[in-house]
Amino acid sequence: MKIALAQLNYTIADIQGNASKIIRAIHEAKEKDADLVVFSELAICGYPPDDLLDYPHFVDECLSALQNIAVETHNITAIVGCPSINVQTHGRNLRNSAFILTNGQIQKKINKTLLPTYDVFNEARYFEANSLFESITINGQNFAVTICEDLWFNNGDFKYAINPIEQINAPKNSWIINLSASPYYHGKYQKRLDVLQKVCQDSDMGLIYVNQVGAHTDLIFDGRSMVLSNKGEMLLELAAYSETLEIFDTEIKHNSTKIKTNENIASIYESLVFGVKDYFSKMGFKQAILGSSGGIDSAVVQALASAALGGENVKAILMPSDFSSEGSVLDAETLSKNLNNSYEIVPISEIFNSYEKSLEPMFKDLPFNTAEENIQARSRAVLLMAISNKFGHILLNTSNKSEMSVGYTTLYGDMCGSLSVIGDLYKTTVYELARFINKDKEIIPINIIDKAPSAELRPNQKDSDSLPEYYILDSILKLYIEERQSADEIIKSGYEEAVVKRVLRMVNNNEYKRFQAPPILKISSKAYGRGRIIPLVSKW
Amino acid sequence: MKIALAQLNYTIADIQGNASKIIRAIHEAKEKDADLVVFSELAICGYPPDDLLDYPHFVDECLSALQNIAVETHNITAIVGCPSINVQTHGRNLRNSAFILTNGQIQKKINKTLLPTYDVFNEARYFEANSLFESITINGQNFAVTICEDLWFNNGDFKYAINPIEQINAPKNSWIINLSASPYYHGKYQKRLDVLQKVCQDSDMGLIYVNQVGAHTDLIFDGRSMVLSNKGEMLLELAAYSETLEIFDTEIKHNSTKIKTNENIASIYESLVFGVKDYFSKMGFKQAILGSSGGIDSAVVQALASAALGGENVKAILMPSDFSSEGSVLDAETLSKNLNNSYEIVPISEIFNSYEKSLEPMFKDLPFNTAEENIQARSRAVLLMAISNKFGHILLNTSNKSEMSVGYTTLYGDMCGSLSVIGDLYKTTVYELARFINKDKEIIPINIIDKAPSAELRPNQKDSDSLPEYYILDSILKLYIEERQSADEIIKSGYEEAVVKRVLRMVNNNEYKRFQAPPILKISSKAYGRGRIIPLVSKW
């Protein structure tokens, strides 16, 4: 039996566009003699559709598009992910379903059992869980059809009560089919493989696993659909970050291929470039703009954006103040030249002076402090947004996770932007990424990497004046944010008590800034944004 | 039997502070000869604690505070809401529990069954649902102890599978106890009453209902704890928006009091004033600042803030540009004087000119457009934030729901602020509120109410140049946002097709601005913010 794995890039809520894409893939699968073609979870609307599911006409449109897709299923069966109505008299209104389409009709619907509701997942908000279990037969072959989390029994953040694969209890020699929408983070591929291989081994069944590919604002779906044997061997793997349809023939003996998880800095680079590229592509944007300070954060974002959009589509704005070192401007110019970016120099001194003059009656001779530092950062934001508004460039945010964590960043200043590119990378990872970008030649001037980090908002300022060294800061932050350890636990790992308490206090006190931050490309198991909801008014 | 209803104002995560408050209330109840004192849902940590629940040491601290509270329960029983560990081998890690404390010890724990996971509620993210049902006996009296949503069977956004009250099946003459955390919105009090009265009538039991009071950033809890008879008559009602402990004696015959729901503009005013006041009080802030444009939105916020914090604690900044009408400045000055607010006039023309001059090499002779409009709005934000940073005032946001909906607002400009006071009020409601504020005397100069709304960002600009009249706009928005109707349904109600489609497109296209908006005091059934999660990158 020939099974096509259709790994496609859907646009959320572009129901007609997604349906056309699915129909084209059905025809391609037919041309390749496939008996069955499998699509990913909620393919028709893209994953995650969030509260659009609360609009009844949204779900109606999905179901009506499904009918149009069904019409195309002659001489082939298609399994398509689509939200559907819960017809029971109780429970949530919807189901997260896999529809079996064949002979031009909807033949069957199978509902998702395990509904992830943690981190970035909110499925219990919309869907009622499945409680009917059975395997299905297509062209004489048995399948256990499951949806994403259904295979993550006992592997997620908490323990589910039932294991769908055990409940389905499929006959020997069945294959598991899984329609997935599994977002990327660093380390996820290995985790995903471990989980899926164990499912195959425990159940003694092979697995057809179809993930979506594509970035949906903050969430990056890497694809990497695959076929595993009943021993967990890799029989077929689809490329990461690309739309592709491949055929797997269950009747042919396949050699297993060696699995290369390769989760290193290169894979972070790849995912971020893809995240930026797909954001622009789906929004119909072409050109990016960013503030280029001569520091490492903006340099890395500039390089990533150039890789994603082409150097000619990235515009750097250099906005020196009286506190900017001469080197910073020169380094930023060199960077733009290396990346083939256009750039403009717009000094902010006169703007800063006009604020000072306007505020003089109120500020009188009060000493220079955060107020004046922030005026500089915010003047730059006003300039960037003005240029963005005038020419239609999209502003990229350049904050990193370390400074976002401790609030070493100016709200409405350097926190502006449509998309935060490196907001889930600690500063130490930003350095690693800079060195990776320079691996073949010096794209980011080495001076930018070597000099001590500084916001350059007052004379001779250094980050280390008010923050611990980044290798210490980042380790503490990781234990607190990703590992959810308490201050006591972190101190027990060997960090200085005063430092730990100060860092955690800074993290907790700056929740209000992060609340108004742009969406952040997620590359860690716990990113700021939708996956981490913390009260603003609290004593924590 | 004497039952004390303890309606307290908790601070999220202030576990020690909340525990002390609970202990004081236990002593007060004892002094008043109560046999039982009932607290609200998750009283120990305040509701909602959000992802702080993901930190194991957070829950440990709650449970350890509970032990300290238990010690105080001699000659009295206390029922206290607290998160607890799910001891089953499967399911989510936690329970949302009501602990029965007596004789200095934890005697029993009862878990919540119905876990709201819609709009602003996320409980399935953290808690495992209860599946054990039994009534309890305290001093010979039977009680069915429930937690908040447990009484909302078949009354929320979707239908639950089981009705906890039926499952508990308490003996005749039992009382229902409900530990609640039920946030306010306009119309909620009537809905809440309807639900609770029906529960009493259906079960033939009286109800002791204890709600928390207090604002938690965006969510305002109005209190209004109550005792209903088995016929649904109101036997006792606690005051809205205040901390209070009152005794209900089950052995005394009570006359039912007439219920006045009074859900009018006065109740919106009251809740917003309380929301601002409690935000400042819990954050330890004293003084507010806002941009006072001479328009109705900022005027209403200024009046609300003055009512909440005292006129002397509100600072108005008037920032006229060349496009500001003379009347606007005069009106704003009069307003500040009427409210006893200090005010400063900081013109922005020179700042605007310095931006124009700096951008001249790039903008050349391109026509004046949104870019220049936004520079003005953002220059004002920079000034407000500078003053806020210098003097420690907290910036209040003055955007209304109509302009937030259609994006008629500048991100990083007038969208700045720590808290959005009227972001859940459509423009027509803002007018209603202005007239209410002026009911006894002219606080808001009548000119501000009477003149045509304008952003004053270009010569002779009027909102109606680019938007439908507000009474039409607001009606369409309500059908789309609150009622979740489709364009077709709204058009069928009699609105012009082109207008409806344009408005809905504006709403959908401006999701990115709202993503970075401040938290908004919720006063409607569907506010922007945590209760409405919409994808940013989408084709909807």
Spatial separation of the C-alpha atoms in residues B310 and A343, rounded to whole Å: 50
Higher-pLDDT residue of B453, B334: B334
Of the residues B122, B216, B289, B354, the best mutation for testing chain A's interface (the one with the most A CB atoms within 10 Å of its CB) is B354
- With a cut of 90, say whether residue B237 has pLDDT above it: yes
Sign of the C-alpha dihedral computed for residues A367, A370, A371 and A372 taken in this order: positive
pLDDT of residue B156: 62
The residue assigned the tokens 């999905």 is A62
Selecting from B160, B412, B519 the residue whose C-beta is nearest the C-beta of A416 gives B412
Non-local (6+) Cβ contacts of B498 within 8 A are none
Give the DSSP letter string of B9-23. Answer: ---TT-HHHHHHHHH
- With a cut of 70, say whether residue A178 has pLDDT above it: yes
CB contacts of A527 in chain B (<8 Å) are none
Interchain contact, B519 vs A540, CB within 8 Å: no
> What is the count of residue pairs from A and B with beta carbons less than 8 Å apart?
247
Interchain contact, B390 vs A358, CB within 8 Å: no
pLDDT of residue A327: 87
CB contacts of B12 in chain A (<8 Å) are 535, 537-540
Residue-wise pLDDT tens digits, B320-331: 998 888 888 999
Selecting from B117, B517, B538 the residue whose C-beta is nearest the C-beta of A12 gives B538
- The torsion region of residue B179 among left (phi > 0), alpha (psi -120 to 50) and beta comes to beta
Q: How close A231 comes to chain B (CA, Å)? A: 27
Spatial separation of the C-alpha atoms in residues A348 and A329, rounded to whole Å: 13
CB contacts of B57 in chain A (<8 Å) are 486, 488-489
Helices B296-309 and B265-283 cross at an angle (nearest 10°) of 60
Spatial separation of the C-alpha atoms in residues B323 and B318, rounded to whole Å: 13
Contact A479, A523 (CB under 8 A): no
Amino acid occupying residue A88: Q
Nearest to A196 by CA among A185, A182, A216, A184: A182
C-alpha distances in Å from residue A23, one per residue of A19, A98, B330 = 6, 16, 64
Give the DSSP letter of residue B324.
S
- With a cut of 90, say whether residue B457 has pLDDT above it: no
Spatial separation of the C-alpha atoms in residues A124 and A389, rounded to whole Å: 39
* Alpha-carbon radius of gyration of chain A: 26
- With a cut of 80, say whether residue A156 has pLDDT above it: no
Cα B85 → chain centroid: 29
Q: Which of these ranges, A86-90, B243-247, B268-272, B441-445, has the smallest mean pLDDT? A: A86-90
- The pLDDT-based confidence of A111 (bands split at 50, 70, 90) is very high
- 3-class DSSP state for residue A214? strand
Nearest to A383 by CA among A323, A328, A315: A315
Q: How close B318 comes to chain A (CA, Å)? A: 12
Interchain contact, B383 vs A359, CB within 8 Å: yes
pLDDT of residue A326: 82
Q: Which residues pair with B419 in a beta bridge?
A: B396
CB contacts of A537 in chain B (<8 Å) are 11-12, 215-217, 279, 282-283
Q: How close B535 comes to chain A (CA, Å)? A: 6
Segment A285-302 shows an average pLDDT of: 97
Residue-wise pLDDT tens digits, A232-253: 999 999 999 999 999 999 999 9
Residue-wise pLDDT tens digits, B117-130: 999 999 999 999 99
Contact A158, B91 (CB under 8 A): yes
Residue of A nearest to B484 (CA): A55
Non-local (6+) Cβ contacts of A5 within 8 A are A37, A38, A208, A209, A210, A225, A227, A236, A238, A245, A246, A247, A248
Spatial separation of the C-alpha atoms in residues A380 and A382, rounded to whole Å: 5
Residue-wise pLDDT tens digits, B278-307: 999 999 999 999 999 999 999 999 999 999
- With a cut of 70, say whether residue B157 has pLDDT above it: no
The residue assigned the tokens 């050349």 is B364
Interchain contact, A385 vs B412, CB within 8 Å: yes
Segment B51-78 shows an average pLDDT of: 97
Nearest to A151 by CA among A196, A95, A115: A196
Interchain contact, B385 vs A378, CB within 8 Å: yes
Average pLDDT, chain B: 96
Amino acid occupying residue A509: N
Of the residues A47, A274, A358, A363, the best mutation for testing chain B's interface (the one with the most B CB atoms within 10 Å of its CB) is A358
Give the DSSP letter of residue A333.
H
Spatial separation of the C-alpha atoms in residues A93 and A89, rounded to whole Å: 9
Residue of B nearest to A372 (CA): B386
Q: How close A11 comes to chain B (CA, Å)? A: 6
Segment A52-65 shows an average pLDDT of: 98
Higher-pLDDT residue of B257, A415: A415
Nearest to A146 by CA among A121, A124, A172, A167: A167
ipTM score here? 0.96
CB contacts of B95 in chain A (<8 Å) are none
CB contacts of B45 in chain A (<8 Å) are none
pLDDT of residue A154: 77
- 3-class DSSP state for residue B141? strand
Residue-wise pLDDT tens digits, B219-236: 999 999 999 999 999 999
CB contacts of A481 in chain B (<8 Å) are none
- With a cut of 80, say whether residue A217 has pLDDT above it: yes
Interchain contact, B389 vs A379, CB within 8 Å: no
Contact A165, A176 (CB under 8 A): yes
pLDDT of residue A157: 62
Residue-wise pLDDT tens digits, A159-175: 898 999 999 999 999 99
- In chain A, what percentage of residues exceed pLDDT 70? 99
- The pLDDT-based confidence of B111 (bands split at 50, 70, 90) is very high
Exposure of A222 in the CB half-sphere (CA atoms within 13 A): 25
- In chain A, what percentage of residues exceed pLDDT 90? 91
- With a cut of 90, say whether residue B206 has pLDDT above it: yes
Q: Which of these ranges, A318-327, A389-398, A488-497, B498-507, has the smallest mean pLDDT? A: A318-327
Q: Which of these ranges, A25-29, A65-69, A325-329, B396-400, has the smallest mean pLDDT? A: A325-329
Contact A450, A428 (CB under 8 A): no
- For A247, phi and psi rounded to 5 degrees? -100, 135
The residue assigned the tokens 């037969």 is A137
Average pLDDT, chain A: 96
Note the pTM of the prediction, 2 decimals: 0.97
Cα A34 → chain centroid: 32
Selecting from A89, A347, A362 the residue whose C-beta is nearest the C-beta of B159 gives A89
